[in-house]
Amino acid sequence: MPLYEYACKSCAHQFELLMRANEAPACPACHGTALERKLSVFAAHTGGAPARGAAAGPCGTCGDPRGPGACSLN
């Protein structure tokens, strides 16, 4: 079951809802059905490996494998 975030256009209440197939979402505060689906932000742990394309460095910008502060010691 996917988890969606909604904002009610009637009362401005924001909430998360687990959706099952063929269910119409409704606001838990006012029971309105005029809803706007929000972009969900989630985090996932990948077991410690850096994401593909991400910088390997601790500062997140240089990618220097020697560790923190290594890029400023040139």
At 21, which CATH number? 2.20.28
pLDDT of residue 2: 75
5 occurs within a structural domain: yes
pLDDT of residue 57: 45
Per DSSP, helices labelled H in 1-74 are none
Report DSSP state, residue 72.
G
30 occurs within a structural domain: yes
Q: What is the pTM of this model?
A: 0.50
Which helix H or strand E contains 36, and what residues bound it?
A: strand 35-38
64 occurs within a structural domain: no
**Cβ count near 63 (within 10 Å):** 13
pLDDT of residue 60: 53
Which helix H or strand E contains 5, and what residues bound it?
A: strand 3-8
Range of the domain at 31: 1-40
The number of distinct structural domains making up the chain is 1
52 occurs within a structural domain: no
Are the C-beta atoms of residues 6 and 39 closer than 8 Å to each other? no
| pLDDT tens digit at each of 74 positions of the chain | 678 899 999 999 999 888 787 888 899 999 999 999 887 766 555 665 555 555 444 555 666 676 666 666 54
